């Protein structure tokens, strides 16, 4: 990112994991930023390391939090945003019928509704300028059903499908839209989604660092790629899932989750 094509970015879920890594990479490249998350102290700790950084504390599962981000995208008195990174999201593991229904509603609200609304406003603002970048963080889980991660996988399937559609709609417009589809990544996601058992189930070579995922995602959106699957292992899994009959893919995914 030494010569980033972006001038000012808005990053959701910037307080940890992939979002935090994206923020550090952009900050080191001299890109101005609006960092969005619920945890003010973490955002301020990142912001203190770089110039030209705004902290926007917002819960994107609420209308007020979403309105605050939309308002910032619309502002003509502050630096214009030319890169939006929709990274905020979380998962729920376990049997669907046993999950807390409110948690599932919040998961859909954040992973689907907030991302859709922010993507819509970002593109609406970028179109008159004929230039911009949108990076939506999805998952390798989007390529097949996810037994015991059913809602998470379904929300990420939405993200990948929506992003691919937008990439094609905006071809030739100057706006580049990319879906970042990481696999196993060492972040807080495992503790939040109650999937910490994955760390002992899958070998070290199957995991990637958040820094490497962030690097690949930023390069991909700068290059105008529709989908970025970082890492050789993940690329192989994505390719296999594409050609595997859906019934068999479901069985394999269900077996993998039962091994946790």
CATH number, domain containing residue 61:
3.40.50.720
What is the rounded end-to-end Cα distance, in angstroms, of the chain? 37
Residue 259, pLDDT score: 42
Instruction: Give, in order, the Cα–Cα distances in Å from 220 to each of 31, 63, 68, 216, 217.
Output: 17, 31, 28, 6, 5
Any domain includes 108 = yes
Any domain includes 31 = yes
Is 152 an annotated catalytic residue? yes
Any domain includes 17 = yes
Catalytic residue among 152, 182, 187, 222: 152
Residue 188 has pLDDT above 80, yes or no: no
Any domain includes 62 = yes
Any domain includes 65 = yes
**Total of domains in the chain:** 1
C-alpha closest to that of 22 among 34, 225, 92, 68: 34
Any domain includes 219 = yes
For 125-157, what is each residue's pLDDT tens digit? 999 999 999 999 999 999 988 999 999 999 999
Any domain includes 2 = no
| In contact, 163 and 179? CB cutoff 8 Å | yes
| In contact, 69 and 60? CB cutoff 8 Å | yes
| In contact, 160 and 143? CB cutoff 8 Å | yes
**Least confident span in 25-39, 42-56, 101-115, 240-254:** 240-254
Any domain includes 48 = yes
For 21-36, what is each residue's pLDDT tens digit? 999 999 999 999 999 9
- Which residue range is the domain that position 54 belongs to? 8-258
């Amino acid at each position: 990112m030494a010569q980033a094509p972006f001038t000012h970015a808005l990053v959701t879920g910037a307080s940890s994991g992939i979002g935090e890594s994206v923020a550090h990479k952009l900050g080191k490249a001299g890109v101005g930023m609006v960092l969005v998350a619920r945890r003010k102290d973490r955002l301020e700790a990142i912001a203190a390391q770089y110039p030209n950084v705004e902290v926007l504390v917002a819960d994107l599962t609420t209308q007020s939090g979403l309105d605050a981000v939309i308002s910032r995208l619309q502002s003509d008195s502050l630096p214009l945003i030319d890169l939006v990174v929709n990274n905020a999201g979380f998962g729920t593991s376990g049997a669907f019928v046993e999950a807390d229904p409110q948690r599932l509603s919040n998961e859909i609200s954040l992973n689907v509704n907030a991302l859709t609304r922010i993507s819509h406003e970002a593109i609406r603002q970028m179109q008159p300028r004929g230039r911009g970048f949108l990076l939506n963080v999805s998952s390798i889980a989007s390529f097949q059903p996810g037994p015991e991660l059913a809602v998470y996988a379904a929300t990420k399937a939405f993200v990948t499908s929506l992003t691919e559609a937008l990439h094609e709609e905006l071809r030739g417009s100057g706006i580049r839209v990319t879906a970042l589809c990481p696999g196993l990544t060492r972040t807080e996601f495992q503790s939040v989604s109650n999937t910490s058992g994955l760390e002992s189930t899958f070998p070290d070579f199957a995991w990637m660092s958040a820094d490497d995922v962030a690097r690949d995602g930023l390069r991909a959106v700068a290059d105008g790629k529709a989908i970025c699957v970082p890492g050789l292992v993940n690329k192989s899994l994505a390719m296999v899932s594409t050609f595997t009959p859906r019934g068999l893919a479901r069985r394999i995914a269900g077996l993998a989750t039962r091994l946790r």
